[in-house]
Amino acid sequence: MKQVTELKRGYITLIRDERINVWHISIYIAFLYLWVRKKGINPLYITRKKVMKLAHISSIATYHKCIKQLQEFGYIRYVPSYNRFLGTQVFLVAVPD
């Protein structure tokens, strides 16, 4: 339950952050959806194709820009993998108020 509270607080911080746009929120919601399906365990193992489909993003450039910014802003930790069988790791980070 503590994780859910921390991530909820992180989401509220995310939507109040003026640097964040609709594409950042869409990707973050896709991560939250995958995180809940995985029973709240970090890291998430993702593929770009799956997240883009969930987030309704069609531009690879937009996807990579938003991922980079979410990491820079401290909302996620992104560990890319170039092995298509392993998938990229994404850690949802609990953000302080």
One-letter amino acid identity for 15? I
Residues 12-58: pLDDT tens digits? Answer: 888 899 999 999 999 999 998 898 888 888 899 999 999 999 999 99
Rounded to the nearest 10 degrees, the angle between the axes of helix 22-37 and helix 2-16 is 170
How many domains, in total, are found in the chain?
1
In a domain, 17, yes or no: yes
* CATH of residue 20: 1.10.10
In a domain, 34, yes or no: yes
In a domain, 97, yes or no: no
pTM above 0.85, yes or no: yes
In a domain, 42, yes or no: yes
Smallest CA-to-CA distance from 91 within 34, 42, 30, 26 is with: 42
Give me the domain span that covers residue 33.
2-92
